Amino acid sequence: MKKGITLFLTFCILHSYAQFPRVDIPGSELRKLTSSIVPGQEYDLHVLLPAGYATSTKKSIHQENQIT
């Protein structure tokens, strides 16, 4: 039983330190999000906007509610 608990804890520790390779999406914009629940946890969110979005004069109701 003690050996099983030690193995489980070792797995949890190793899994929490696992690093995955960085993936970039060409043409996307990067948004950084910080967790309000887990101290120090940050996320990189890649958003691929439609062609012409930056120069468009059309306004969306969603732009008014944008999170900054």
Q: Is residue 35 part of a domain?
A: yes
Q: Is residue 6 part of a domain?
A: no
Residue 33 has what pLDDT? 92
Q: Is residue 48 part of a domain?
A: yes
State how many domains the chain has.
1
Q: Is residue 34 part of a domain?
A: yes
Q: Is residue 16 part of a domain?
A: no
Residue 53 has what pLDDT? 80
Q: Is residue 32 part of a domain?
A: yes
Residue-wise pLDDT tens digits, 18-28: 567 777 788 88
pTM for this entry: 0.44
Task: Tell me the average confidence (pLDDT) per consecutive run of 10 residues in the chain, 68 residues long.
Answer: 67 60 82 90 86 77 55
Sequence-separated (6 or more) residues with CB below 8 Å from residue 35: 41, 42, 43
Residue 18 has what pLDDT? 59
DSSP for the chain, please give it: -HHHHHHHHHHHHHHHT--------TTPEEEEEE-SSSTT-EEEEEE-PPTTTTT-----HHHHT---
29 and 54 in contact (C-beta within 8 Å)?
no
Residue 64 has what pLDDT? 52
Range of the domain at 39: 21-52
